[in-house]
Amino acid sequence: MHGAHGCAGSVPGLLYTAMHTTRWLATICCAISLSASGCGAAEPPEAPAATLTVVQVETVTTVQSSAGSFLSPTPEQVVPAYVERGSAAERAESQERARIEVALLFRGTLAGGLSQQLDTQLVPASVASWSGIEHSFPHVEQTPAHVSWPLAVSSDAAAELDDTVSPEWRGWQDFRGLGVRDSAGIAALSAPAATLDFASNGLSSPLVLSTEGGSLLVTNRSPQAIARALLIYSHSGGVGVTTLEALAPGERRVTVLGPKEHPPDTLLELAREQLTDFFSASVGPELAPALATAKSIPFLETPGLRLIALLGEEQEPASVSFSVPLSGRQRVVLSHSEILKPEEEQRVLSVLIDPNLAAEQAPATFGRFTLAKLEFAEQSSDASASARASALLAALRSR
């Protein structure tokens, strides 16, 4: 009996212990639930962060005479109406001058669309200095130390730019990225890329072209090896492309121009395919067509002799920073070395004999690098040609 009573008497204690344990477990569960989802006082979960990636394409353009002197790298261009023109670049005191083109293309994902404000800044490479913004989209603010570039990117499709806009800007549409506009909403147009062109003094071109005894010499002046380059010669008879492989630091190589066995239109299409393939090997099949289209005019369709190469990120001419973290970033650095052939230099000097040549006629007469060709003539020992070139340069720079 006593044993039975003792057993019966322990039941309430067991029930109490079980209930107490249950309440304790419930408290713990509720605490865990509160920390995870609010447990009756739930707050809405944070919105997923947008993923934003940028492709930064920088092109370094230099122009030299056949004797090797550096000339103005500023080209004559058809600039879209939506692009803001800045102050004209001052003539550099330094021998080496380059023109830097920066294009920023964006991609991003977010359910329901993406709209991101960016405060972007550019500072020049350590060996270089700014000498004037030539044009930009959207608007930029320049200080002696850096360039401030407020942008806005959104998943709204970029406007389809019509045929009146040069392929140098329209070509970026092949990338099909986010639309870019002014962060303050001043520019209603949403363009395929943010673009900025400026002049730089003291920036060396890693690859240079020169002539020696009728031969063309390619020299890699940089401390880095150049894996692959294209030598392009374009004139009224067509365009030829020659591939150069593996140029070691300091290496000089004699090369020849590409063959031209086809009609000009066929040669141009073949050259565009070569240019796309050249870019695809480094930047991939999505970016390469846009890059090739945007660069078709300066590289393939402008008469002249030039050397094109892809450089390493450590050779980028400008450092670009963003106010928000990026989920991905790709830098593409292009070297564009232009050389005036001796026969073109002679043509320029012969044209300058005409005293009736007006400044407004000069771009159509001399082509894309009019300023460079006139600077070459200004250095000529022919006093008459030098004086005419100086007068035309003064008129063109004052426009």
Tokens 């492309």 sit on residue: 241
Query: DSSP assignment, residue 79?
Result: -
Q: Are strands 328-339 and 51-64 parallel, antiparallel or unpaired?
A: parallel
Task: Give the tokens for residue 255.
Answer: 């090369």
DSSP secondary structure of 24-56: HHHHHHHHHHHHHH-TTSPPPPPPPPPEEEEEE
Helix (H) or strand (E) holding 337: strand 328-339
- d(Cα 140, Cα 86) in Å, to the nearest integer? 9
Q: Taking a C-beta distance cutoff of 8 angstroms, is the pair 104, 316 a contact?
A: no
pLDDT in 10s for each residue of the chain, 399 residues: 444 444 344 433 433 333 344 343 344 333 334 334 444 445 555 544 568 899 999 999 999 998 888 899 999 988 888 898 876 555 555 578 889 999 999 988 765 578 888 889 998 776 566 777 889 999 898 877 788 999 999 887 788 888 889 999 999 999 988 999 887 665 678 899 999 998 888 776 788 877 777 677 888 888 888 888 999 999 888 999 988 888 898 888 877 776 667 888 999 999 999 999 999 988 889 899 999 999 999 999 999 999 999 988 888 888 899 998 898 999 999 999 999 988 999 999 999 998 889 999 999 999 999 999 999 999 999 999 999 999 999 999 887
Conformational region of residue 322, where left means phi above 0, alpha means psi within -120 to 50, and beta covers everything else: beta
H or E element at residue 245: strand 238-247
Angle value at C-alpha 296, between 290 and 301, nearest 5 degrees? 170
pTM: 0.82
Other C-beta atoms within 10 Å of 172: how many? 28
